[in-house]
Structure 1
Amino acid sequence: MSITHWVYILLIYGVHVSGNDSVSSADQPVSERGFLGFLLGPCRCRCGIPNREARLVGGEYLRGHEFPWASLVQLPGNLSFPATLINDKHLLTSANTVIGYTPSDLKVTVGLFDRCFADVSSMNLSINRIIIHPDFSPGNRAHDIALLELSNPVRFERRISPICLATPNTRYLGQVATVYSWTQAISKNETTDTSQTIKSCRPRKLGLPILGYEECLNAASNSNYVSIDKGCIGVIGSFSPICEVDSGGAVTFRSRQGVYELIGILSDKNVCDSAARPSVALYTTINDHISWITQNTRDACYCVKT
């Protein structure tokens, strides 16, 4: 890895020169780019800052725009999947959700909270490029991660700002992860033999313990999908609340300072059916792909982790 690349990673994780300090929590995040900004320090903004000091209660609804990095990607046929804003030009999601699509097939909504009612804060953005990890394996879902590059940079404000990337060389074992999603379920009418997809208007969040690799192997619904770049969350012996349709969603960790880090991207090989055996939820770990992420986002504005 080149010296320039290492310097770039250090800039992302908060090593910056005096005079380019991050803004106070009272300030709105502002995206400032340019050649000198790239060389001397990160953008003048903070990542991973939620819109309230949140106390996690199982399955509770989010407060308005609590997680301003939460985004939803729209597909043809009224389909959608979650993605996470990591800088002013890129979002992270799972590779399995975007494989086979072109950028013109996708539209991403940022600043979204209640998808049942129009919100002046939300923005529909076009995608310029889909970057699937070159080692993605459709068979066992190894390296199930993809970047979505926006056609134009997004300007940060209170309801639209990025999450921090995971702290390098950290596994977060034994900690509690926060997951959130606009949920959906299939309601079946046995009388008419029809089914209907019911989508939640507002996203829900949930806290689940982060488990070790051996626990993932033993407790996953299918161990064939537990590749070396996988982590898992859940309660051993319990049914997982994470479903296949949550694929692409964020697995996050909240530090003692109240800053959120993106530590994983949920897989589509998670079973939440109570008829199945108890299992945990798998995710692709960010730390196993930090180098790939930073190499493909060099022209973007990253905010400081404080």
Structure 2
Amino acid sequence: MANLIDTVTIVGLGLIGGSLGLAIKKKGLARKVIALALSRETIKEGKERGAIDEGTLSLKKGVKSADLLFIAVPTGSIVKMIKKSLPYLKEGCIITDVGSTKFDIVKEVEGFLPKRFSFIGGHPLAGSEESGIKAARLSLFKGSTYVLTPQAKADSSSLSLLKSLIKGIGAKVLILSPEVHDALLARTSHLPHLLATSLVNTVEDLGKRERKTFKVLTPGFKDTTRIAKSSSALWQDICLSNQRQILKALSEFKENLKKIERSIKEKDLAALGKQLNRANRILKSP
């Protein structure tokens, strides 16, 4: 595939940033991929794995030639990193992020971003409980959904280019408003993580009283709780950034859990079956 863009800079060479670099280079979507990283070791590994052409610890050197800038840092650091980058960016640079929440980020960035730059919020719905450049993989985005949250005043040519690049790495583009994104992801991503965390903590409490608890962990338990291995610092940022929607999601979940609890307590098989069958039917529907 011919280069869509000259220079892409990725700020943060972890799982997502590293995987972006691998896919962009493998598909030939950019002439050059540069990374801004926190350590020389990360840069060395990024080069060895073929995720980047160049790497630097200097913000100015890393972003000054970028035509497209990916901000792939923890959610709580995204806005700060964009602000720090602005003095060094060339006119016309397209800025996007990969944060798990969008409303607060988009609102704040739109409030200070000069007109000579474009910002399009992004969130690849891909990843794992692993982190760092070692966890990056070429196929991470293949067949996945990649959400973009452009504002009404977003430059159409910038949006078109970013969409083409995302399709080029194998993902499907979904356009959402920042508000809808945060409402949906609170239920489909953020809530599941908190439930996995609570489940592990509940079993660990039992393990303090019954030593054999961890000898009977089932495959279902392990599948359900795998995501709780993810970075706690990252998830603290997400919870605070999407606080309102996550609290709503928790409240809705507790109401559904109460229905199940009540049906078990009252030995109401019809009510219990209704809840179990409803979920079963939804997941089995085409």
**TM-score, scaled relative to structure 1:** 0.24
Whose relative contact order is higher, 1 or 2, with alpha carbons under 8 Å and at least 6 apart?
A: 1
Structure having the higher Rg: 2
Q: Which structure shows the bigger proportion of residues in helix conformation?
A: 2
